[in-house]
Amino acid sequence: MVLARGISLLGSRYLNLRSLFGFMRSNQSKKEDVKRIAKERLDTLFLQARKVFHVDQSRAHRYVDLARKIQMKAKIRMPREYKRQYCIHCYSYLVSGVNGSIRVHNSKIVISCFSCKKFTRIPLTLRRRKMVAKKVKVVDGKRKDRPRRR
Ligand SMILES: [Zn+2]
């Protein structure tokens, strides 16, 4: 009788097994959730920083600050496209031509910040340099255009 009651209780919709054992979820999946949510927040923060920059620059800098805090807390890497949008010395959001510049010099990407007057040099990797070299073929020091396909 008691057993039968227990079975009926388990089957009932009032006893949700997933919520009952929710605390037993693995740490790994929790960590993955945290990282996924953090990435989403980085996306929104950098999108908002770009939108708000021309209205209020200090708010854009603040969004970079928040994004960095989230990124460090979740222990994820800052995505490459975002890493080049702010100054790594003073963490201000950079817009090339307004408060910073991004140039390629001696096969390095040079990001300069006008507010703290510092540079960041990112060397182009061999793979990316090869990709650039493929576009302009250099033979014996002379530039040779790629043969045209007929
Ligand atoms: Zn700076």
Per-residue pLDDT, 127: 76
What does each of the 150 residues of the chain score in pLDDT, given as a tens digit?
Answer: 445 554 554 555 555 555 555 566 688 888 889 999 999 999 999 999 999 999 999 999 999 999 999 999 999 999 999 999 999 999 999 999 999 999 999 989 999 999 999 999 999 887 767 776 776 555 455 555 555 555
Cα 34 to averaged position of ligand 1 atoms, centre (Å): 29
Per-residue pLDDT, 125: 80
Instruction: Say which residues have a Cβ less than 8 Å from residue 73's Cβ, sequence separation at least 6.
Output: 38
Query: By 3-state DSSP, what share of the chain in percent is helix, strand and coil, each rounded to 5?
Result: 50, 15, 35
Which tokens belong to 111? 């990001």
Cα 64 to averaged position of ligand 1 atoms, centre (Å): 12
Cα 127 to averaged position of ligand 1 atoms, centre (Å): 29
Neighbours of 84 (CB within 10 A): 16
User: Rounded to whole angstroms, how far apart are CA atoms 69 and 87?
Assistant: 15
Per-residue pLDDT, 1: 46
Q: In the chain, which ranges are E strands?
A: 100-105, 108-113, 119-123, 138-139, 142-143
User: Rounded to whole angstroms, how far apart are CA atoms 66 and 47?
Assistant: 13
Q: Which amino acid is at 138?
A: V
User: Rounded to whole angstroms, how far apart are CA atoms 114 and 94?
Assistant: 9
What pTM, to 2 d.p., does this model score?
A: 0.66
Q: Which residues surround ligand 1, an ion (CB under 5 A)?
A: 87, 89-90, 113, 116
Specify the 3-state DSSP secondary structure of 144: coil
Which tokens belong to 38? 């953090």
User: Rounded to whole angstroms, how far apart are CA atoms 83 and 70?
Assistant: 14
Domains in the chain with CATH codes: 24-143 (1.20.5.420)
| DSSP at 88 | T
